[in-house]
Amino acid sequence: MKLSELFNERSIVLDIEPGPKKALLERILKDLDGKKLISDFDQVFRDVIEREKVMSTGIGNGVAIPHAYTDGVDQLVAGFYRTRIGADFAALDAEVVDLFFIILGPKASRRDHIKILAKISRLLSHESFRDEVRRAASVEEVLAIFKRFGDR
Q: Which of 4, 130, 11 is nearest to 81 (CA)?
A: 11
Catalytic residue among 3, 33, 47, 67: 67
Angle between the N-to-C axes of helices 127-135 and 110-124, in degrees from 0 to 180, rounded to the nearest 10: 90
d(CA 141, CA 133): 8
Amino acid at 44: V
Residues forming a β-bridge with 87: 97
Q: Is 67 a catalytic residue?
A: yes
117-140: burial string, b at 16+ Cβ within 10 Å, e else: bebbeebbeeeebbebbeebeebe
63-64 and 67-69 beta bridge pairing: unpaired
Active site residues: 67
